[in-house]
Amino acid sequence: MPNTNPDIVRERINQLILNSGLNYRVISLMMGKSEAYMQQFIKLRSPLRLKEIDRKKLAQILHVPEQELTDIPLSSQPAGEGSVLNPETLTLIITEIETWLDRENKEITPANKARLITLIYKKITQLSDDQKTGKIKDLIDTWDSLQDVM
């Protein structure tokens, strides 16, 4: 049964985020949004409802059925195998990117940071844990050198 109104949904999402150990900023970046997106959604009530694509991403990040994140009834379609994002892997990626930015004294836009997170995530999901950090650093270096050319 869907939640009954957007404010109840918003409070449920807030609780799920708090319980996840992540914060609004990290969740926003994981969704490919600006750093303030989830804070604006929760605190400023904007947008009123999450777009379908954002709701799907958030459901994957928080490991909950998409229906928990909306007051609008959804058709019941099971998520595809492997569709859940791994929070530990995403945290590792974000940590490595932020370490690189600090070390190199660089700044990138939230949109580019989200793109970089997405690209890296797609490339390393099949690697073992001990291979991930090295591959992340390689991918960051490649991305950085491509930015210099553009």
* 45 located within any domain: yes
* 78 located within any domain: no
Whether residues 51 and 93 share a domain: the answer is no
Please report, for the domain that includes residue 10, its CATH number.
1.10.260.40
Of the CA atoms within 13 Å of residue 143, those in its CB half-sphere come to: 21
* 99 located within any domain: yes
**Length of the chain in terms of residues written:** 150
Whether residues 13 and 59 share a domain: the answer is yes
Contact 89, 26 (CB under 8 A): no
Whether residues 63 and 92 share a domain: the answer is no
* 76 located within any domain: no
- pLDDT given at position 47: 92
* 79 located within any domain: no
Report residue 80 as tokens.
């595809």
Full domain range(s) for residue 130: 87-149
* 75 located within any domain: no
Amino acid letter for position 135: K
Q: Which residues lie closer than 8 Å to 43 by C-beta, 6 or more apart?
A: none
Q: Give this prediction's pTM.
A: 0.50
Whether residues 65 and 98 share a domain: the answer is no
Cα separation of 129 and 149, whole Å? 31
Whether residues 19 and 59 share a domain: the answer is yes
Domain count, the chain: 2
- pLDDT given at position 79: 41
Whether residues 97 and 54 share a domain: the answer is no
- pLDDT given at position 149: 57
Whether residues 63 and 94 share a domain: the answer is no
pLDDT in tens, the chain (150 residues): 444 688 999 999 999 999 999 999 999 999 999 999 999 999 999 999 999 889 989 999 998 888 889 888 875 444 444 456 778 888 888 888 989 998 989 888 888 888 888 888 888 877 787 888 888 888 888 888 877 655
